[in-house]
Each structure stands twice: as structure tokens, then as C-alpha cells.
Amino acid sequence: MNSLSRSRLIKRSSIVSAFGNAFLSLLKIVAGLASHSLALVGDGIDSATDIATSLLTFFTASIAAEPPDREHPWGHERAETISTKILSFIIFFAGGQLAIKSIQEIISRSQGELPGIWAIYATLISIGGKTLLALYKFHTGKKTDSPMLIADGKNMRNDIIISMTVLIGLIFTRILGIALIDSIIALLVSFWIIGVAFSIFRETSLELMDSIDDKEIYNRIFEAAERVDGALNPHKMRIRKMNRFYVVDIDIEVDGSLTVKEGHDISLRLDEEIRTSIDNIYDIMIHIEPAGAGEHKEKYGLKKEDLWKSDI
């Protein structure tokens, strides 16, 4: 999928999400005020924040699709990573607000007016709508390999759980008249949402710190080097990730008696072998050394035996 098609799909997903959340937010706020349900009003306000998230995704897609330029020679792919990190803060804020509200209600043990039946109907519609939006986000996120959309899908999934918590609280409040149960359930859900925010924050931090979770990629590149005749002693390998792409930096040794062209041909075969073995390669930098010349001054890089160490 080229960058233009990918950007178009991400923008379409953002527009659908923005309109969907606008409808659900208005529905829950109006129904919550009419039926005296503060929990439903709060759920509607949470959906309103998702409109801002969708707009953020829309504009980020345009930035990420921009080609490299003088100021950004590596391109703009990490714009999605930065936006995904911002999403983690939004999710954390939503979970924190839910936790604060729940604790306040538990401490006050408030027994306000029982919410009307329309609050339950509005919550059921919200659960159905959010489920469709979450599935759509996850589908488009996987199709475009967009961590930003997948993170937004997780945020939508959190909204479903929030709405289900509100629904359970409304049912128990109307049947048993026990508002405290709703507050306790909401508090537990808020902890789970905060945990999701930390998970997304950690994933984006790994990328921004030029680390990757999937260390098997190192093995696959070393194996690719072993399949190329004349590529000796692959070492000083470093891999960084930019959104969905990988940048590979590796040193190899060649026979010192070869011509520059012959050594260059070996590097081209290795480049092709790596691109065949691994999807989403952005760039490969191969440094050629004469066999036995010793290693250069890179501060760090991996040999194959380093992959067996416990800290890798």
C-alpha cells in the first residue's frame, strides 16, 4: 500500500470516528441531563474528547505522508508515533477523571435521584455504536499498519467498558437503589484504562528511544547475511523503527583483495536479501570492511552471539 492510499484510509477512518463520536456524545449528554444521570453525562463528555482525538489523527495522517525534505531527511513517519503518545495521555486523563469521580462518590456515599429509563436506552446505543467504531478502527489500523489507529481503537474499547460500567451501575441503581456498587465498578475500570495508557506510552517510548520489541528481526538479518556469498562476519548491527518501517545499519567484512565494485555488489546482494526477508524496510546502511581489519568506532552494535545474552 503506497503512502497516498494509506493516508486516505486513515483520514476516512478519522472522519467516520469524529462524526460517530459527535452523535454518541450529544445523545448521552442530552439523555443524561434529561434522566438525571451524571454518570451518563460524564460518559458523553468522554466521547466528546474522542472527537479531538479523531481530528488529531486526521491531521497527523497528512504530516506522516509527507516525503523527506531538508529539515526532515528521514521523513515524517514518526509524526504518528508522537500522536500515539499524545493519545496515551488522553486515555490516561480519561481513566484518571473516572477514578477521581468514582472515589468522590464512594467517599460521599451520595444517594441522588434515580436515573430514568432513557439513560439505559442511550447507554445501550452507545455500546453498540462504540463497538462498531472500535472494530472499524482496529480493522483499518491493521490494514494500514498504523499504531496510531490501533491505539485509538484501544481507546474506543475503553469507552465500551466505560459505557458498560455505566449500564451496570444504572441497572443496579434502579433495581436495588445501591449507587455505591456503580462507583466501585467504575473505579476498577479506571485502573484498567490507566494501565492501557501506560502500555501505549511504553510502546511509543521504545520507538522514540530507537528500541524494538521484536528481537527476532536481528536473527533474520544475520541469517540473511549468511546466505550471501562473500558477506563475512556481520556485526555492529543496529535497528531502529519509524512508525511501521525499519532502518537497518550493519557492518560486514569482505575479502580485502576485491575491487570496490565487487565489494559493492556483495552489499547490493545483502540489501536485496534483507528486503526479501523482512517487510517494511525503510532504509539499509551497509558498511564494508576488509576482512580482519578490526571493528570501527561505533559506540554500540550487535553481533549474532549478543542475541543470546539476557539483556537483549
- Determine the Cα–Cα distance for residues 205 and 188; give it in Å rounded to an integer: 26
- Look up residue 248 and give its three cell numbers: 537497518
Task: Assign 184 to helix, strand or coil.
Answer: helix
Angle at 23 between CA 10 and CA 65, to 5 degrees: 15
Please give the helix or strand (H or E) that residue 240 lies within, else none: strand 232-242
Distance of CA 96 to the CA centre of its chain: 20
Of the candidates 40, 92, 46, the one whose C-alpha atom is nearest the C-alpha of residue 204 is 92
- Tell me the pLDDT tens digit for each residue of 87-104: 788 878 877 887 887 787
Q: Where are the domains of the chain?
A: 3-208, 216-308
CATH assignment of 3-208, given 3.30.470.20, 3.40.50.980, 1.20.1510.10, 1.20.950.20? Answer: 1.20.1510.10
Q: How confident is the model at residue 51 (pLDDT cuts 50, 70, 90)?
A: confident
- Tell me the pLDDT tens digit for each residue of 11-42: 888 889 889 989 988 998 888 788 767 667 76
Amino acid letter at 52? A
Q: Is the pTM for the entire model greater than 0.85?
A: no
> At the topology level of CATH, where does 216-308 sit?
Alpha-Beta Plaits (3.30.70)
More confident residue, 59 or 125: 125
Query: How many residues make up the chain in this entry?
Result: 312
